[in-house]
Structure formats: C-alpha cells, structure tokens
Amino acid sequence: MKKLILLSCLSILFTTSCAKKNDLEPTIKFKTTEGNIIVKLYAETPKHRDNFVKLVEAGFYNGVLFHRVIKDFMIQAGDPDSKNAKRSASLGSGDVGYSIPAEIVYPKYYHKKGVLAAAREGDDVNPERVSSGCQFYLVKGHTFTDQQLNDLEKKNELKLESKLFQEKFNELSSKHSQNKIDELRDSILNVVHEKMKVNPTYKFTEQQRIDYKTVGGTPHLDGAYTVFGEVIEGFEIVSNISKVKTGKMDRPVEDVRILSAKRIH
C-alpha cells in the first residue's frame, strides 16, 4: 500500500512539474501554406510570451501573410493588414495599438537559425527598443567563418566604445568647461575601456561561435531585438519560405500564409 501511495505522489509531482513547464514555456503550432512550424516560447521573456499566447488564442494570426521575406536572413509576419491585402498593398505597418517593453536576454538568447524574435522600429525613433505588439520574425541566416565573426566582434567593440564614450562625455559636459573636457578625453577612454573589460558584451560566447559556424544565423542583430522563442520543428519550412521569389518591399510574389496558429502545450 505504501509503495502505491509513493508512486501516486511521484506521479502527481511529475504531472504538476510538467504543467508548470508548459505554462512557462508554451509551444505554438503554425500551419502555413508551406507546411507546419512549431515554436517554443521562452520563460525569461514573460511579457512577449504572454502577449503572443493571447494573440494566438484570439485567432489573431490566422490568415496573416509572411509579408517580408529576405533570403538567408529572415521571414516576417504578424501584420493584421496582410490578411486580405491586394497585390499592390504596402505591408508592414499594421499593429495592435500597443508595444511591448524590450526583454533582451543577451547573450543567453541570440540570433541563431530558427529563433523567434519581435519586430520593432529602428533605434533612431525607438531608442528603448520596444517591440511591436504583434509582428515577429523567424531567423534563417547563414553560416559564418571565424574571421567573419572576428570582424563582427571588432565592429561591435567600436560601436560599444563610441556609445560608452558619448554617455560619459555628455555626463561631464554638464559639469566642466570645454577646455576641461578636452583634457579629460584620455581619462574618459580609460574609464570606457575598463567598463568594456568587465562586461565584454561585444564578444561572442563559445556557444554562439559554434552555432554561427554550424547552423548559422544573423549575429549582427544580437542584443538589439527581443528573442523570445525558437523553432523546435519545421526548420526546413522556414528555409523553404526564405527562398521564395519576392517582389517589391520583399513581399513574396505568391502569398505565403499562416493558415492557423494554435497553442498545443
């Protein structure tokens, strides 16, 4: 009897554990005109996860197009205006009337092949990098060599150095005269370089390098967009869609549509 009770308790604990995981990392099945794609949403990006599930369960994505496709880069969908769009229609501006605060969990989540990320407006009008409330993209990308990754790291390093320098320069500008600031340039750079040593976010992790050299991706987007899930089935469908013929504004010549989106776990 005790053994049966113990087994029952273990069964309940296992079931409860699975239920909690499914709540934290739900999976979504997209049925498209090219085949099925299943994605898992990340627990560490709860605002994006919960919003995505809400839209899926409301049927929001049923019928939308992959309105922007760039070969060896990504496929984008989620514009509600695309559902009944004419061939001449300009797509990509449709939304749900709200945005989502950035949840950039980098370097844990990065732009390897198959990740699900939120589309957004550019930094010039969106410095806080808030996400679209509905539009998303799936990464196709391509593979990179070590030298190409080294070159990207150098570009990232220079961009970060410039950003940190400007922040420190602006801080000092309000406290010192121009002559004093000119004298402080070298010391500002020293401070910047010390910060970069402590938190070298411009460098790729070992796992990033492995993934970008084998499965591929789009590393130049890392740390700038919210990655909130990944494909777990249907990688070949993402690849096939990324290769379709496109026309004006990267819209596929023949419509590629999400027929239905459904939460399956």
Q: pLDDT by residue for the chain (265 residues), tens digit each?
A: 455 554 555 555 555 555 556 689 999 999 999 999 999 999 999 999 999 999 999 999 999 999 999 999 999 999 999 999 998 899 999 999 999 999 999 999 999 999 999 999 999 999 999 999 999 999 999 999 999 999 999 998 888 888 877 877 777 776 656 666 667 676 777 766 776 666 667 789 999 999 999 999 999 999 999 999 999 999 999 999 999 999 999 999 999 999 999 999 9
Taking each helix axis from N to C end, the angle separating 178-198 and 146-173, rounded to the nearest 10 degrees, works out to 140
111 found inside a domain: yes
What is residue 171's predicted lDDT score, i.e. its pLDDT?
74
What is residue 190's predicted lDDT score, i.e. its pLDDT?
72
Contact (Cβ atoms closer than 8 angstroms) between residue 225 and residue 126: no
167 and 231 both lie in a single domain: no
pTM score above 0.75 = yes
18 found inside a domain: no
34 and 85 both lie in a single domain: yes
Distance CA 143, CA 147 (A): 12
Buried-exposed string 183-199: b where 16+ CB fall within 10 A, e elsewhere: ebeeebeeebeeebeee
43 and 132 both lie in a single domain: yes
203 found inside a domain: no
117 and 162 both lie in a single domain: no
78 and 171 both lie in a single domain: no
Contact (Cβ atoms closer than 8 angstroms) between residue 135 and residue 119: yes
7 found inside a domain: no
31 and 161 both lie in a single domain: no
Total domain count, the chain: 2
72 and 102 both lie in a single domain: yes
CATH number for the domain including 43? Answer: 2.40.100.10
13 found inside a domain: no
63 and 194 both lie in a single domain: no
Range of the domain at 180: 146-198
210 found inside a domain: no
What is residue 1's predicted lDDT score, i.e. its pLDDT?
46
Strand pairing partners for 217?
Answer: 112, 142
Structure tokens at 148: 């190409």
131 and 48 both lie in a single domain: yes
